Amino acid sequence: MKNIAWRRAALMSTCLVALSAPSLAQDQVNLIFRQFDPPTETAGLQSAIDAWNANNADIQVRMETMAGGDTLAQLAREVPAGAGPDIQHMAFVWTRDLAKSNLLLELGPLIEADAPGSGIDDFLALELATLDGKIYGMPWSADTFAMAYRPDLLEAAGVTHPDTWEELTSAAQALSNSDGQFGLCFPAGSSPDSGMWTLVNYYLWSNGSTLIDETSPGVWEITATAADIAAAMTYFNNFFASGTAPESLITVNSWGDPELIGGLGRGDCAITFFPPQTFRAAQGQSEMPLLTGMIPAGSEKRISHLGGRALGINPNTKHPKEAWAFVRYLLSPETFKTYNQYPAQKSVLDVLDFPENEQGYVDMLPQAQTFERYISSPIAVSSMTGLINREFGAVFSGQRSPEEASQLVLDELQTLLTRGKS
């Protein structure tokens, strides 16, 4: 009898263990966070996730990496099938499209229950995360452009940091010489993805103009004039005409082109414009220290564009509260102590310390604006980008005058707008 009783007790103990093990396992929530930055840029992010996991035994997070070019198609397959990561890293401009396709969780209730950081109004570019008055993503990291320059070359020429577009012209002249040093370098290629698009909009916006705008609710108009566009074409073309920018850049399209990165480092170029990661690459190759400064001001204001990344939650997640807790952590200053990006929150920008030579980015981010009006317009942004780059390139190469090219831009924009409305 004792032997039978022992066997019964052992069997009961085994059953209790079998029943309690899943219960214990269920106490720990496991989340997947998918992001698209290359492994060479994610060491700091992984450190932040490791710190979270060390301090949150009940919510463990595993990071997955998928190239940005594959992410949208993958989400479109996974989420309708009830799968996908719990938290998704997104480009700002993806958020609305993903929300329209029901691929993101609406965050309003989570925000209301436990608002992130200093509150929702503290976030940059929130308009790009909003659809029909509802928020589907949290702006996470932000980036913009700043002027990048060789302070030693400016000092040698007796030039101070140019504060306006007019001062930039004068500085470029003073910094150019017959030894192969050019005052200003920028990608002036005519391909659809040329970086020229960026500078054109900075110049137009700062001087009170924009290609297209919603002049009243639901009414879109081409608001730039031929004179506005011709003035921008003339301004940038004068750098080539005066010899203060190398003509070889008329075939260069990327801000990360070796001619620009290496040119600043070698001193072939005294001034250019870079996003943060490109600036860091240039500093790594430079013979001398580099600095950043603000984008030149126009007649109306100083402005740059605001790009960046957002965080979204999968509507299929079984753990929305836990996913939101991790999102709030990623948005906190703690993450940005190791994650080498700029936060998309004004208050976090204020409390973190950034390298002195990157102060230009810190100063420009609060003054930057998104391409929201272009994204919301009836014209595809890619169509506007290709048109602007093509016609500015035609002016730089001497194929057309600024007057001819600017009128072509206006005519084609109007055609695109009419087609888009229909």
- 3-state DSSP assignment of residue 194: coil
CB 302 within 8 A of CB 367: yes
**CATH architecture assignment, domain 30-136+307-369:** 3-Layer(aba) Sandwich (3.40)
Phi and psi angles of residue 208, each rounded to the nearest 5 degrees, phi first: 85, 20
Model pLDDT for residues 24-62, shown as the tens digit of each residue: 345 899 999 999 988 878 899 999 999 999 999 999 999
Rounded to the nearest 5 percent, the helix, strand and coil shares of the chain are 50, 15, 30
Mean pLDDT of 368-390: 94
pLDDT tens digits along 73-101: 999 999 999 999 999 999 998 999 899 99
* Res. 23: pLDDT tops 50: no
**Tell me, what's the pLDDT at 316?**
98
Checking if the pLDDT of 104 tops 60, the result is yes
Cβ contact 204:232 at 8 Å: yes
Residue 391 has pLDDT above 70, yes or no: yes
Compute the distance between CA of residue 30 and CA of residue 399 in angstroms, rounded to an integer: 60
Token pair of 262 as six digits: 């290496």
Mean predicted confidence (pLDDT) in 284-290: 93
Query: At 346, phi and psi to the nearest 5?
Result: -65, -40
Q: What would the pLDDT profile of 148-199 be if each residue is shown by its tens digit?
A: 999 999 999 999 999 999 999 999 999 999 999 999 999 999 999 899 999 9
> The tokens 């993101």 sit on which residue?
104
- Is residue 67 very low, low, confident or very high in pLDDT (cuts 50, 70, 90)? confident
HSE-CB at 46 with a 13 A cutoff on CA atoms is 11
Query: How high does pLDDT run on average in the chain?
Result: 92
Q: How far apart are CA 264 and CA 189, in angstroms?
A: 18
Mean pLDDT of 121-131: 93
Alpha-carbon dihedral sign for residues 151, 152, 157, 158: positive
Question: What strand order describes the sheet that includes 269-274?
Answer: 182-184, 269-274, 146-149, 291-293
Cα separation of 84 and 284, whole Å?
38
Structure tokens at 389: 């780059």
Q: Which two tokens stand for residue 412?
A: 């084609």
Distance CA 283, CA 277 (A): 10
SS3 266: helix
171 vs 46: CA distance, rounded Å: 43
Architecture of the domain defined by 146-305+373-421: 3-Layer(aba) Sandwich (3.40)
Of 205, 143, 185, nearest to 361 (Cα)?
Answer: 143
* Start and end residues for every CATH 3.40.190.10 domain found in the chain: 30-136+307-369, 146-305+373-421
pLDDT given at position 26:
55
